[in-house]
């Protein structure tokens, strides 16, 4: 009889090759076992991708290949697999952890599971989640977590993942090319206000200090003509003022930026000078308010003003929580940025300041977590971006002179190492505490 | 738009016999302390009521037998305390010798409790305890360190009366010392600064899980009870350090230059009128170990933004160089000055003059901004890793708190705030290198064995020194030994 290699032998080899390829792509080392194996096809050795150092931590791998068959109870999201009793008995003797990888030729999928992670009460049955258990570069940290005894002090593996990107909470500001300067008969802005208020077309996005007036619009075209020396108005290149190293110019720039942002965003938020806070104002007494915006994934909305009735004494007044932010202006090199630092503002009913905001804020801050703050930063980004787009619709019409400042999207920081969150969600008893506990927030997903 | 980023590895510490580890507790367990005690016994004096003295002494005996961790799932964050037998992390015994205890009577405690005014009660308590401390230090036993085991009744009286208006926002409330009322601990440390023995204040909840500290006191002092094994680690480590030896230090960089780190802090005197400067200087001791010394600078400033005059900055740096030279017989090759406010031109000028006179070529002047509004958010529930660094066009954003792979979790709860490091133009090193050093310096805090501390040691120490010195009249000679201030 002629020699033959069966199709299933080829399939097995293909599966193992496919898995080997994935392991190498993860950045780990894969070694085939020799002919004398009885239930593990290979060994994976962990390797720190950044340094290239092999870590001396091993895992056994068994590959099960299928041409195109369906798995047990397979749906779009999950399926089950039953291990052979003899295999399981053998793997139990291993002094390294063993994983099983199921590879299917027809769709090229590969899923994995630690063989000891069987369903409760049925020790041979493994339940796979197609999302969580896909075998690929993202599972590096979970694989690594299997190799250490987490009950031995001093032992850990560093994050072995591909890194991740994060956002910085500051947007680069695009400034107009020109800035208007003039001398003013008034020494400070405060002195000039009464004269300004007698005029038509008043606006407040300007700065007067030491008799110098600056703004991004031409003061002669608005009520501001009353507070400048008209023959002294001139337009200069913006960098002359805003990128100057003089402390006075820097302070004036910050003040001008703040006032311009206040002007530009007035339809949505108000500014509190004393608290140095921008906040979403209420639209009615004791009324909540939502704000719709486009987050990075989808349209979403946030409850930016929330009314909380008094739980203990329903007849007594409650309080209103407003989303707010400290917007700070920071110069880095030759660029100005607006830094978004989200916080909250509290009122009695939407309008009167709350007499004891400290305790409310502290309570809220205690519950705050990374994802929630990130969501708020993304929301503020959207608001600022929106404020830079002229409106021309039924509700609002704005002129070009109302949109001087443009805002670039939040910059990304590419981090070389990611928090191994998938793994920690399984191993860290504190994982639940990392989830923001505010049930009243809508949306706010980034 | 791109910014350069890095994630620094957890800095390595050095322990006994050259052992290295990133974690103080595991390092001590495996290698023992950097400087073992020559006598191999730490003699602990105890002052308290009959009850607290007994409670503390029993706890000390219990630690010797070892304490199992209650949280095996996060074993690196909450390791067992192995005891003081075979795997003794300190390689020495802790003992309360007979005659090394002093007790306060019920009458003494009650007297203080009946005083209406907070400040007066604090003063009288400090007076009473100072007398006992003095007597103990003069006794023949000569303890290496004295523990004040305060009874709850006294704690309630002395700590309870804090103002409601504590800085709510502070994620690190331990630093928010906007004390309007007289602080018992600070005053006591100030009054006993001249004594030849460091003190450690211990509350009953350290040894007794059932001890009920009133909730209000707990909240005001931001006191969180840790697992018992962790309490044993922290307490014995602090006693060991205060008894005169260094448990660990940063792994010296062989290729690096001999560097002296100087932290500058500012504090207001008790009347809140004048601003003074406190400093802490840190450098490697000749031989092995580390010196952390605190001092007051000969200066005063007024106004909202504290700063030094050129002459004062010059004096300060000159003194610091002299201190270093007294230990090493040569000047450091490099000086790093960390300050929590912007460097003004006159300060830089004064520092520059001092450095030039001493012939020191390399220096870094770093403004450490503590709660920078700039932050990084990853997409997920956990905050970014501790050690995450972003170069913001020359300013450095550094996360000293964050998710820690060694612990397998984020050991805090609130969203952590990074430090913003701003170098003065008179600086030689790249910001990334400075940031890496600052991260390492956060691990030099012998009052805790958990390593993810927020502030670099020189700044934290300068601040602690300031808290004590505000109670001491200017011109009084003060001890440079940091163990007395912490």
Q: What is the ipTM of this complex?
A: 0.88
Q: Which of B79, B80, B382 sits opposite A419 (nearest CB)?
A: B382
Helix (H, G, I), strand (E, B) or coil at B102: strand
pTM across the whole model:
0.91
pLDDT band of residue B265 (cuts 50, 70, 90) is confident
- Chain A residues close to B384, C-beta within 8 Å: 166, 415, 419
Taking the CB of residue A67, how many other CB atoms lie within 10 A of it?
A: 12
CB of B414 within 8 Å of any CB in chain A? yes
Chosen from B76, B373, B393, B396 to mutate, greatest number of chain A CBs within 10 A: B373
How many contacts, defined by CB atoms under 8 Å, are there between A and B?
157
- Chain A residues close to B168, C-beta within 8 Å: 358-359, 361-362, 365
**Mean pLDDT value of segment A266-278:** 91
Q: How far is A139 from chain B (nearest CA, A)?
A: 16
Tracing tokens 């495996």 back to the chain, one arrives at B30
Q: Could you tell me if A331 and A337 are in contact, meaning their C-beta atoms sit under 8 angstroms apart?
A: yes
- Chain A residues close to B379, C-beta within 8 Å: 164, 166, 371, 374, 446
| Angstrom distance (rounded) from CA B189 to CA B185 | 6
**Mean pLDDT value of segment A63-83:** 94
Give the least confident one: A59-63, A311-315, B283-287, B317-321.
B283-287
Helix (H, G, I), strand (E, B) or coil at B257: coil
B67-B68-B72 Cα angle (round to 5): 150
Q: Identify which of A1-5, A273-277, B295-299 has the greatest average pLDDT.
A: A273-277
Listed residue (B206, B278, B239) closest to B472, CA to CA: B278
Taking the CB of residue B345, how many other CB atoms lie within 10 A of it?
A: 11
- Chain B residues close to A144, C-beta within 8 Å: none
Q: How far is B320 from chain A (nearest CA, A)?
A: 31
Q: What is the pLDDT of residues A104-157, one digit of tens each?
A: 999 999 999 999 888 778 889 999 999 999 999 889 999 999 998 877 888 888
Q: Could you tell me if B469 and B267 are in contact, meaning their C-beta atoms sit under 8 angstroms apart?
A: yes
Helix (H, G, I), strand (E, B) or coil at A324: strand
Q: Specify the pLDDT at position A395.
A: 57
pLDDT band of residue B283 (cuts 50, 70, 90) is confident
| Angstrom distance (rounded) from CA B6 to CA B486 | 33
- Chain B residues close to A152, C-beta within 8 Å: 75
Q: Which residue of A has its CA nearest to B5?
A: A415
**Mean pLDDT value of segment A1-25:** 91
Tracing tokens 């199992």 back to the chain, one arrives at B68
Helix (H) or strand (E) holding B51: helix B50-65
- Chain B residues close to A434, C-beta within 8 Å: 381-382, 410
Q: Could you tell me if B246 and B34 are in contact, meaning their C-beta atoms sit under 8 angstroms apart?
A: yes
Q: Does B54 score more than 70 pLDDT?
A: yes
Listed residue (B471, B441, B470, B446) closest to B457, CA to CA: B441
Q: Which residue of A has its CA nearest to B166?
A: A358
- Chain A residues close to B6, C-beta within 8 Å: 416
CB of B168 within 8 Å of any CB in chain A? yes
Give the least confident one: A39-53, A210-224, B378-392.
A39-53
pLDDT band of residue B466 (cuts 50, 70, 90) is confident
Show the domains of chain A with their CATH numbers.
7-162 (3.40.1350.10), 170-415 (no CATH)
Cβ density class A143-165: b for 16+ within 10 Å, e for less: bbbbbeebeebbebbbbbbeebe
| Angstrom distance (rounded) from CA A365 to CA A345 | 12
Cα dist from B161 to A76, B158, B165, B220, B403, whole Å: 62, 7, 11, 9, 35
DSSP state of A269: E
Taking the CB of residue A427, how many other CB atoms lie within 10 A of it?
A: 17
Q: Does B218 score more than 70 pLDDT?
A: no
Alpha helices in B329-423 (DSSP H): 345-358
CB of B107 within 8 Å of any CB in chain A? no
Q: How far is B69 from chain A (nearest CA, A)?
A: 10
Q: Does B413 score more than 90 pLDDT?
A: no
Q: Cβ of A418 and B410 within 8 Å? A: no
| Angstrom distance (rounded) from CA A194 to CA A208 | 14
- Which residue would you say has higher pLDDT here, A299 or A56? A56
Q: What is the pLDDT of residues B167-201, one digit of tens each?
A: 333 333 333 333 446 788 999 999 998 888 999 99
| Angstrom distance (rounded) from CA B15 to CA B26 | 10
- Which residue would you say has higher pLDDT here, B287 or B79? B79
CB of B382 within 8 Å of any CB in chain A? yes
Q: Specify the pLDDT at position B219.
A: 56
Q: Specify the pLDDT at position A297.
A: 65
Q: Cβ of B375 and A341 within 8 Å? A: yes
Q: How far is A160 from chain B (nearest CA, A)?
A: 11
Q: Does B480 score more than 50 pLDDT?
A: yes
- Chain A residues close to B406, C-beta within 8 Å: 156
A126-A127-A129 Cα angle (round to 5): 140
Listed residue (B262, B273, B221) closest to B470, CA to CA: B273
Q: Specify the pLDDT at position B252.
A: 82
Tokens describing residue A129: 């989640």
Q: What is the pLDDT of residues A303-321, one digit of tens each?
A: 899 999 888 888 888 899 9
Q: Specify the pLDDT at position B298.
A: 54
Q: Which of A166, A169, A446 sits opposite B384 (nearest CB)?
A: A166
Q: Which residue of B has its CA nearest to A342?
A: B373
- Chain A residues close to B25, C-beta within 8 Å: 153
- Which residue would you say has higher pLDDT here, B307 or A355? A355
Beta-bridge partners for A302: A291
Q: Cβ of A433 and B377 within 8 Å? A: no
Tracing tokens 């709850």 back to the chain, one arrives at B152
- Chain B residues close to A53, C-beta within 8 Å: none
Residue numbers of B between 262 and 321 with CB closer than 8 Å to A? none
Tracing tokens 């995450």 back to the chain, one arrives at B388
Give the least confident one: A200-214, B205-219, B262-276, B314-328.
B205-219
Q: Does A353 score more than 70 pLDDT?
A: yes
pLDDT, averaged across chain B = 86
Beta-bridge partners for A306: A321
Taking the CB of residue A420, how many other CB atoms lie within 10 A of it?
A: 25
Chosen from B378, B391, B422, B432 to mutate, greatest number of chain A CBs within 10 A: B378
- Which residue would you say has higher pLDDT here, B72 or B108? B108
**Mean pLDDT value of segment A206-225:** 94
Q: Cβ of B388 and A369 within 8 Å? A: no
Q: Cβ of B5 and A421 within 8 Å? A: no
Q: What is the pLDDT of residues B323-371, one digit of tens each?
A: 899 888 999 999 999 999 889 898 999 999 999 999 999 999 999 998 7
- Chain A residues close to B66, C-beta within 8 Å: none
Chosen from A142, A155, A156, A157 to mutate, greatest number of chain B CBs within 10 A: A156
Q: Which residue of A has its CA nearest to B165?
A: A358
Q: Which residue of B has its CA nearest to A339?
A: B374
């Amino acid at each position: 009889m002629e020699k033959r290699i069966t199709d299933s032998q080829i399939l097995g080899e293909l599966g193992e090759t496919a898995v080997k390829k994935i392991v190498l792509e993860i950045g780990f080392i894969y070694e085939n076992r020799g002919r004398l194996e009885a239930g593990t096809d290979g060994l994976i050795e962990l390797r720190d991708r950044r340094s290239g150092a092999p870590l001396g931590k091993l895992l056994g791998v068994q590959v099960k290949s299928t041409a195109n068959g369906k798995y047990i109870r397979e749906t779009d999201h999950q399926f089950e697999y039953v291990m052979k009793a003899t295999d399981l008995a053998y793997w139990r003797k291993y002094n390294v952890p063993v994983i099983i990888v199921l590879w299917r030729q027809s769709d090229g999928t590969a899923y994995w599971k630690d063989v000891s992670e069987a369903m409760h009460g049925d020790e041979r049955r493994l339940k796979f989640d197609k999302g969580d258990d896909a075998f690929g570069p993202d599972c590096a940290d979970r694989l690594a977590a299997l190799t250490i005894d987490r009950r031995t002090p001093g032992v850990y593996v560093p994050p072995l993942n591909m890194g991740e990107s994060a956002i910085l909470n500051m947007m680069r500001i695009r400034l107009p090319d020109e800035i208007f300067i003039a001398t003013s008969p008034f020494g400070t802005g405060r002195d000039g206000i009464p004269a300004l208020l007698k005029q038509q077309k008043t606006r407040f996005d300007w700065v007067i200090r030491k008799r110098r007036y600056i703004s991004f619009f031409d003061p002669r075209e608005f009520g501001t003509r009353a507070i400048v020396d008209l023959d002294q108005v001139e337009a200069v290149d913006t960098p002359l003022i805003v990128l100057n190293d003089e402390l006075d110019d820097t302070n004036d720039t910050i003040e001008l930026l703040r006032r311009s942002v206040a002007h530009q965003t007035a339809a949505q938020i108000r500014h509190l000078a004393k608290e140095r806070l921008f906040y979403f104002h209420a639209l009615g007494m004791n009324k909540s308010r939502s704000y719709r915006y486009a987050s990075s994934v989808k349209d979403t909305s946030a409850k930016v003003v929330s009314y909380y009735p008094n739980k203990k004494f329903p007849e007594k007044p409650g309080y209103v929580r407003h989303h707010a932010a400290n917007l700070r202006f920071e110069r880095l090199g030759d660029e100005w940025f607006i830094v978004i630092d989200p916080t909250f503002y509290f009122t009695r009913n939407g309008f009167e300041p709350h007499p004891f905001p400290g305790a409310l804020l502290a309570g809220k801050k205690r519950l705050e977590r990374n994802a929630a703050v990130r969501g708020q930063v993304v929301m503020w980004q959207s608001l600022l971006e929106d404020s830079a787009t002229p409106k021309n619709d039924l509700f609002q019409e704005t002129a070009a002179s109302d949109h001087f400042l443009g805002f670039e999207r939040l910059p990304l920081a590419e981090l070389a190492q990611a928090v191994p969150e998938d793994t920690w969600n399984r191993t860290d008893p504190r994982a639940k505490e990392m989830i923001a506990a505010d049930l009243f927030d809508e949306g706010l997903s980034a | 738009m791109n910014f350069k980023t890095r994630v620094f590895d957890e800095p390595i510490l050095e322990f006994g016999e050259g052992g290295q580890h990133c974690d103080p507790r595991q390092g001590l367990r495996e290698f023992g302390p950097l400087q073992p005690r020559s006598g191999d016994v730490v003699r602990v004096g105890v002052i308290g009521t009959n009850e607290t003295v007994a409670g503390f002494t029993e706890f000390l005996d219990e630690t010797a037998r070892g304490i199992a961790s209650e949280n095996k799932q996060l074993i690196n964050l909450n390791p067992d305390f192995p005891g003081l037998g075979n795997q003794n992390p300190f390689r020495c015994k802790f003992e309360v010798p007979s005659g090394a205890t002093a007790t306060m009577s019920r009458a003494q405690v009650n007297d203080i409790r009946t005083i209406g005014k907070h400040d007066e009660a604090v003063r009288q308590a400090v007076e009473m305890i100072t007398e006992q401390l003095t007597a103990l230090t003069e006794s023949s036993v000569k303890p290496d360190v004295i523990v004040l085991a305060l009874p709850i009744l006294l704690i309630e009286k002395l700590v309870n009366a804090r103002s409601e208006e504590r800085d709510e926002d502070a994620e690190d409330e331990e630093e928010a010392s906007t004390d309007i009322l007289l602080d018992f601990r600070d005053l006591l440390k100030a009054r006993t600064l001249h004594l030849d023995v460091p003190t450690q204040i211990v509350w009953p909840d350290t040894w007794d899980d059932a001890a009920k500290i009133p909730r209000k006191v707990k909240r005001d002092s931001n006191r969180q009870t840790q697992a018992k094994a962790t309490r044993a680690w922290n307490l014995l480590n602090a006693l060991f350090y205060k008894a005169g030896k260094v448990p660990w230090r940063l792994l010296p960089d062989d290729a690096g230059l001999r560097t002296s780190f100087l932290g500058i802090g500012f504090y207001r005197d008790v009347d809140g009128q004048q601003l003074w400067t406190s400093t802490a200087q840190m450098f490697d001791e000749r031989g092995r170990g580390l010196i952390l010394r605190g001092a007051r600078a000969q200066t005063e400033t007024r106004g909202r933004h504290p700063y030094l005059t050129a002459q004062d900055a010059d004096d300060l740096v000159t003194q610091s160089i002299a201190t270093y030279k007294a230990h090493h017989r040569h000047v450091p090759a490099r000086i790093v000055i960390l300050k929590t406010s912007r460097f003004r031109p006159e300060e830089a000028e004064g520092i520059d003059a001092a450095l030039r006179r001493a012939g020191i070529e390399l220096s870094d002047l770093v403004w450490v901004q503590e709660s920078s509004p700039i932050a990084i958010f990853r997409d997920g529930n956990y905050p970014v890793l501790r050690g995450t660094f972003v170069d913001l066009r020359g300013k450095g954003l550094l996360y000293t708190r964050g998710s820690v792979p060694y612990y397998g979790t984020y050991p805090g709860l609130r969203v952590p705030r990074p430090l913003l490091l701003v170098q003065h133009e008179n600086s030689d090193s790249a910001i990334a290198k400075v940031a890496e050093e600052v991260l390492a310096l956060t691990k030099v805090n012998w009052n805790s064995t958990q390593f993810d501390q927020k502030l670099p040691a020189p700044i934290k120490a300068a601040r602690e020194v300031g808290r004590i010195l505000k109670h001491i009249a200017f011109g009084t000679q003060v001890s440079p030994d940091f163990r007395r201030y912490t």
